[in-house]
Amino acid sequence: MAKLQKSAHADDAPLEYGTDVAPDGASIDQGLLQDFMGMYLRRAYEVAYEDFRRRLGKDAMQPGYFTILTLIVRNPRISQTQIGAASARDKSSVTKALRAMEDAGLIQRLRSGSDRRIHLSVATEEGIAMQKQMEIKAADHVKALHDAIGPDRYEAFLTTMKDMIRTLEETAVAKDAKL
Amino acid sequence: MAKLQKSAHADDAPLEYGTDVAPDGASIDQGLLQDFMGMYLRRAYEVAYEDFRRRLGKDAMQPGYFTILTLIVRNPRISQTQIGAASARDKSSVTKALRAMEDAGLIQRLRSGSDRRIHLSVATEEGIAMQKQMEIKAADHVKALHDAIGPDRYEAFLTTMKDMIRTLEETAVAKDAKL
DNA sequence: TATTGTTATACTCTATAACTATA
DNA sequence: TATAGTTATAGAGTATAACAATA
């Protein structure tokens, strides 16, 4: 490869270098990226998130809160530790989400009478209504995914993904234990 | 449902409320969340990202930069617009990534002789070495995914995911066009 | 001592918008 | 006018660590 001078971006302009042009978009060599699942997992998450967010519109909570609100509606008096475990989020993240939902009047938090460390969450009427409304949008979203994937492949895809998550979670735990 | 007073978190302590306890982790009712793919797509991305990051260790670039570095190694003199298109990232995100890689001595940026607006990227020897090293870790990572998913399901899973991404991207474009 | 939750803080990844320069 | 890239800024979403209250 030809020798190149370093371009110190803070000071110099990039160095000129011949007249070749890079290949256009259609002919980019992605090499092993073509099958690099990490990239597709990221992208799949992104496009699905975007789809759900667009369907929810601006009158609903953000997509990420749907999970927590649904957990609370379906499990009145759920604790924050339980919410964290069920949604794979740190307790500090749960606190922040619950704070926002409480401020929005969607939930209320109580203390357990039997163990005063525990904060229980229940949905308000507004929270229940919001959850129902979001669930309708979620159903549309799931239908879009269903159509995109194809009915014949949907179940297998979901099952495979769950298996993958479980296995990698176990691997991670095993590795952490070795440290 | 019983009447509950609002707890203004900034001032009051949460209200006490009886002695019931929420169900324990094993018995959480996830309702439709059980099949809410959005949650699994997020989680799948997270666990895969974590796995790759752990395999890369701290001597490599972060997982997200592997894609860009690989694109540059395999497509010398690729432009930033092309990198953005191939990695589904905004040009400002690409600039930031390239800046970091240039500072780390992994790439150099040049200007096209034929169109001086275009900045071309090429990998340095160090960049090529880094990419090779990361590619080895990426192969380990892919193998872990392969094992987690099962060889018989791997290809179908990847294909389905690509189809899903493409379809949802098209849907998004179509919706944007309607605005 | 261990657990539940809160808070302050910070990190990662990313995009938007206004800009410069080039075409 | 349009395009390539830069910069300043912001914002989502999340976690870490130190902490108070309670067990």
Separation CA A138–CA A176 (nearest Å): 35
Predicted local distance difference test score (pLDDT) of residue B35: 64
Any domain includes A34: no
**CB-closest option in A43, A74, A99 to B165:** A43
The phi, psi pair for B84, rounded to 5°, reads -60, -45
Any domain includes B3: no
Predicted local distance difference test score (pLDDT) of residue B173: 75
For residue B83, give its domain range: 52-146
Asked if B34 reaches chain A (Cβ–Cβ under 8 Å), the answer is no
Predicted local distance difference test score (pLDDT) of residue B21: 42
Please, is A51 exposed, middle or buried when counting C-beta atoms within 10 Å of its C-beta (0-12, 13-18, 19+)?
A: buried
Residue A106 — left, alpha, or beta (φ > 0 → left; ψ -120 to 50 → alpha)? Answer: alpha
Predicted local distance difference test score (pLDDT) of residue B134: 94
Any domain includes B6: no
- Residue A151 pLDDT > 70: yes
* Per-residue model confidence as pLDDT tens digits over B116-164: 999 999 999 999 999 999 999 999 999 999 999 999 999 999 999 999 9
Q: How confident is the model at residue A129 (pLDDT cuts 50, 70, 90)?
A: very high
Separation CA B161–CA A145 (nearest Å): 10
Separation CA B16–CA A175 (nearest Å): 41
- Residue A20 pLDDT > 80: no
Give the Cβ contact number of residue A66 at 10 Å: 24
Q: Is the dihedral of CA A150, A151, A156, A161 positive or negative?
A: positive
Torsion angle of alpha carbons A132, A134, A137, A139, nearest 10°?
Answer: -60
Predicted local distance difference test score (pLDDT) of residue B172: 79
The amino acid at A151:
P
* Per-residue model confidence as pLDDT tens digits over A50-106: 999 999 988 889 998 999 999 999 999 999 999 999 999 999 999 999 999 999 999
Q: How confident is the model at residue A25 (pLDDT cuts 50, 70, 90)?
A: very low
Residue B114 sits in a domain whose CATH number is 1.10.10.10
Considering only CB atoms, which chain A residues are within 8 Å of B9? 99, 102, 109
Any domain includes A76: yes
- Residue B80 pLDDT > 70: yes
- Residue A18 pLDDT > 80: no
Predicted local distance difference test score (pLDDT) of residue A8: 44
pTM, to two decimals: 0.85
The phi, psi pair for B70, rounded to 5°, reads -65, -40
Query: Which strands sit side by side in the sheet containing B107-111, from one edge to the other?
Result: A15-16, B107-111, B119-123, B78-79
Predicted local distance difference test score (pLDDT) of residue B166: 94
Any domain includes A124: yes
The count of domains in chain A is 1
Any domain includes B116: yes
Any domain includes A140: yes
CA B57 to chain CA centroid, Å, is 17
Would the CB atoms of B19 and A149 count as touching at under 8 Å? Answer: no
Any domain includes A61: yes
**For residue A110, what are its two tokens?**
């109580």
* Per-residue model confidence as pLDDT tens digits over B12-65: 334 444 334 444 444 676 666 666 888 999 999 999 999 999 999 888 899 999
Q: Which nucleotides of C are covered by protein (CB under 7 A)?
A: 3-8, 12-18, 21-23
